[in-house]
Structure 1
Amino acid sequence: MATKIRLQRHGKKGKPLYYIVVADSRAPRDGRFIERVGTYNPNTNPATIDINFDKTLEWVNSGAQPTDTCRAILSYKGVLYRKHLQGGVAKGAFTEEQAAEKFQAWLDQKEGKITGKKDNLSTAKADARKAALAAEAKKKEDRAAAIAAKNTPVAEETEEVADEATPAEDAATEETEGATEAPAATEE
């Protein structure tokens, strides 16, 4: 019986949650499985992966073949690296203690990368929020200034219009008075 380590889809439409299972290769994707060894949630950033490391390593050592996606997940969690180190111990390349030290150093480095990514995401989110608040405050100030400018010149314009209308009316009245006087003067 060919066993596969693969994903079994669960969750809502658009919000998948996967179980990492060991199943017969002939079984349907969401059908019968031998053992559930973990979960994978791609909806979070970074993706949440919970696996039973020892059980998964045992299945990989006994010949279960991971699918491409599961291979990437197992590599990310270090299961395949641990298997590689165990192969080196079996060949006599190094001791079990050296393999454990190498694996622990790899885990520390990986944890540092994950922590750095989480920190960068949180700071980027905070910076984006501050920038949005600053942009909103600037827009609010511009809008308030525009409203103030709109309301203030209206009062000044009416005074200017009244001041401008008075000399224009005076000139118009003078012209009409002059026009009425002029024809009278020519007739005499």
Structure 2
Amino acid sequence: MATKIRLQRHGKKGKPFYHVVVADSRAPRDGKFIERIGSYNPNTNPATIILDFDKALDWVNKGAQPTDTARTILSTKGVLYKKHLQGGVKKGAFDDAKAEELFANWSEGNNAKIEGKKTGLAQTKEEAKKAALTAEAKKNADKAAAIAAKNAPVAEEVPAAEEAETEAPASEETEG
């Protein structure tokens, strides 16, 4: 029986949510599966991946073939790198302690990269929010100035019209 590590689609239209499952390669995409080993939510930024690391590593070591997207997920979580390091230990390239040290260093770097992306997105969101607030404040100030300008000339025109009426009869009296 050929097994695959693949995604099983759930969620509503336009909002996919996937379960990472181990299934027989002949089973339908959303059909019967052997074991559920995690979930993947691409709707969040960065995407949320929950994976049972030990189960995934066990299935990869047993020969389960991941699909392209599942391979990316396993690679992101370090399952494939851990398998690679275990192969190096079997061949005698280095010992278990060195393999664990290499994996720990890689894991720290990967977590730092993910946290950096999260903080970068949060900063970008804050900057966009501040820019929107300043733009809105400027727009409100422009509106207030336009209203003040519109109301101010109307108040000045009324006295100017009264002055014109008072000057007109005075000029008629001097002529007549």
Determine the structure 1 residue equivalent to 2:111: 111
2: distance between equivalents of 1:137 and 1:34?
A: 58
Size of the aligned set, in residue pairs, is 176
Percent of residue pairs identical: 67
TM score, norm. by length of structure 2: 0.93
Corresponding residue number in structure 2 for 1:183 = none
- List aligned pairs for 1:9-88, cutoff 5 A: 9-88=9-88
What per-residue deviation string (whole Å, max 9, x for no partner) do you get for residues 50-81 of structure 1? 11101100110111000000000100000000
Distance 1:49 1:37 in 2: 11
5+ residue gaps in structure 2?
Answer: none
Alpha-carbon deviation of 1:167? 4.7
Greater mean deviation of Cα atoms: 85-94 or 151-160: 151-160
Which residue number corresponds to residue 121 of structure 2? 121
**In structure 1, distance between residues paired with 2:129 and 2:4:** 45
Name the aligned partner's letter for residue 73 of structure 2: I
SS in structure 2 at match of 1:33: coil
TM-score w.r.t. the length of structure 1 is 0.87
Instruction: Describe the SS at the equivalent of 2:33.
Output: coil
What residue ranges of structure 1 are gaps of 5+ in the alignment?
179-188
Q: How far apart are the structure 2 equivalents of 1:157 and 1:113? A: 66
User: What is the DSSP-based 3-state SS (H/G/I as helix, E as strand, rest coil) of the residue aligned with 2:32?
Assistant: coil
The amino acid that maps onto 1:74 is L
Counterpart-to-counterpart distance in 2, 1:15 and 1:39: 14
Counterpart residue number, 1:144: 144
Deviations 1:117-141 (A, max 9, x none): 1111111111111111111111111
